């Protein structure tokens, strides 16, 4: 079983996908973490991002793996967890460049498919329901108003209520990131569109879990 969750940056995909995986007893795969880990591995080298080519980036690919732990796969570099490094500003600033390279996309897609061969999974990203798992029985495309996405991200980062000026500045950053990733962010024709602007995270998770139960029920009764 594959549950594919796609959507733009800060739409809550990864945290929702993680939670849905726990509820269903599946494993979560965050495909973006592989693009991020490859970017982090390249940043550890000497070449500036202007000189990165797909060949150069993919030279580091054997060092980047997915390791399963409880309900999730984690991106590893040389077998080590690198969560903080791959979420940092340097990686975030350069990862779109890496994610645009078709040879890199093919490598990420193959890694995600390989992990999903042996487990029921909830995968999240930009193109899971289109390029990677076009036959997934459940596809969800998460959207939310940019202002609300920015507000949620700041609450998480700052641990307090952000000011309107802070939210406005973060909205600007998010809208620019959306534009950079637009070509890769694709809604499948058969995806359920879930606008989470006015939903709590619990409500989002409940809806996706209910959809997954409905799909499994339909599959077992045909």
- Nearer residue to ligand DC within complex by CB, 22 or 181: 181
Among 28, 36, 74, 153, binds ligand DC (CB under 6 A): 36
Query: Rounded to 5 degrees, what are φ and ψ at 184?
Result: -90, -15
Q: Please list the residues that pair with 138 across neighbouring strands.
A: 3
Return d(Cα 76, Cα 128) in angstroms, integer. Answer: 20
Minimum CB separation of residue 4 from ligand DC in Å reads 10
CB of 106 to ligand DC, least distance (A): 12
Report, in Å, the least distance between residue 186 CB and ligand DC: 9
Cα distances (Å, whole numbers) of residue 77 to 52, 67, 112: 18, 10, 16
Q: Binding ligand DC by CB under 6 A: which of 20, 72, 73, 125? A: 125
- Asked whether position 73 contacts ligand DC by CB under 6 A, the answer is no
141 sits near ligand DC (criterion: CB under 6 A) = no
DSSP H stretches of helix in the chain: 13-24, 31-44, 54-59, 83-86, 89-99, 102-116, 146-158, 164-181, 201-220
DSSP 3-state of 77 = strand
- Closer to ligand DC by CB, 15 or 216: give it: 15
Contact, 136 vs 26, CB < 8 A?
Answer: no
In whole angstroms, how close is the CB of 221 to ligand DC at the nearest point? 32
Q: Please choose, from the candidates 34, 152, 157, the residue with its C-alpha nearest in 3D space to the C-alpha of residue 91.
A: 34
Applying CB under 6 A, does 2 fall inside the site for ligand DC? no
Choice between 117 and 160, CB closer to ligand DC: 117
Q: Smaller CB distance to ligand DC: residue 65 or 216?
A: 65
Q: 3-state DSSP call for residue 50?
A: helix
Span near ligand DC by CB under 6 A; candidates 51-59, 122-130, 187-195, 206-214: 122-130
Contact residues: ligand DC, CB under 6 A: 9, 31-32, 35-36, 95-96, 99, 125-127, 181, 184
């Amino acid at each position: 079983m594959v549950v594919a969750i796609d959507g733009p940056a800060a739409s809550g995909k990864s945290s929702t996908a993680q939670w849905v995986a726990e509820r269903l007893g599946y494993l979560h795969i965050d495909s973006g973490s592989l693009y991020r880990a490859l970017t982090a591995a390249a940043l550890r080298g000497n070449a500036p991002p202007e000189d990165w080519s797909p060949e150069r980036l993919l030279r580091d690919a054997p060092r980047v793996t997915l390791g399963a732990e409880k309900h999730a796969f984690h991106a590893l570099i040389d077998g080590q967890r690198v969560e903080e490094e791959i979420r940092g500003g340097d990686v975030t600033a350069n990862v779109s460049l890496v994610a645009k390279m078709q040879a890199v996309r093919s490598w990420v897609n193959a890694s995600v498919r390989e992990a999903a061969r042996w487990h029921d999974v909830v995968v999240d990203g930009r193109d899971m329901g289109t390029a990677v798992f076009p036959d997934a029985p459940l596809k969800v495309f998460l959207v939310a108003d940019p202002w609300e996405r920015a507000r949620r991200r700041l609450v998480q980062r700052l641990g307090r209520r952000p000011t309107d000026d802070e939210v406005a500045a973060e909205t600007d950053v998010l809208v620019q990131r959306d534009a950079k990733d637009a070509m890769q962010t694709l809604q499948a024709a058969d995806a359920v569109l879930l606008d989470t602007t006015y939903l709590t995270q619990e409500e989002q998770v409940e809806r996706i879990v209910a959809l997954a139960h409905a799909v499994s029920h339909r599959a077992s009764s045909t």
